[in-house]
Amino acid sequence: MATATMNTTRPATRARLTINIDGVDYRVRPFHDHDSADGEWGIWKAYRLTRVDDGQGYTVARQCGNGGRDSITCTCPKWTQRGPGPCRHAAALVALELLDADGCAG
């Protein structure tokens, strides 16, 4: 009598997300939820964008705070040198609906 066996283990699926912002390709890697050291601000969702051409990377995060304060931040030079305000990295993640532009609900 013949018996059949079925392999029930499957290899892990590998996927990579690459986006193009103003002609530059970035690999996108999600971060998991993090809390700040002081407990006042928490990071609700964050992504690491790494340039494909030179490996330079930026972290874009949706930060949620007490008292209804929340914002999107980025570690790019425009954001860190000029202060809070829209940058192309944050705008791209909002446009792709990877980050919520309206706040931290959900």
Which is more confident, 65 or 4? 65
Say which range, 4-8, 21-25, 55-59, has the weakest mean pLDDT.
Answer: 4-8
| Range list of H helices, the chain | 77-82, 88-95
pLDDT score of 106 more than 70: no
Which is more confident, 70 or 60? 60
Q: Name the residue type at position 43.
A: I
Q: Quick count: other Cβ atoms within 10 Å of Cβ 63? A: 18
Predicted TM-score (pTM) above 0.85: no
